[in-house]
Amino acid sequence: MGAAILYDLLMEILIPMAAVVGIVFFLVQRMLVSKVMIITAAGAASNSGSPFSCPASSSVSLISQELRASL
């Protein structure tokens, strides 16, 4: 009987803590990914070969960039 109560109490603590850890992990990953800049082919030509500078007007989604790379 005591083991069942302890098990229920443990699950009531572990499940919300796992959710909090998952949310924190998501926020950290989102912050890191938001710092990645995507350079278009036209933007790369105008940047004189610098892979680290990206014009503010170039906006290409990551999915379309990956699709073009896979073709």
List strand residue ranges (DSSP E) for the chain, in order. Answer: none
Euclidean distance between CA atoms 37 and 51, whole angstroms = 10
Claim: this prediction has a pTM higher than 0.75: no
Euclidean distance between CA atoms 24 and 29, whole angstroms = 9
Give the residue, 45 or 71, on which the prediction is more confident. 71
pLDDT at position 57 is 45
User: 35-66: per-residue pLDDT in tens?
Assistant: 887 776 665 555 555 555 555 445 555 666 66
User: 9-23: per-residue pLDDT in tens?
Assistant: 889 999 999 999 999
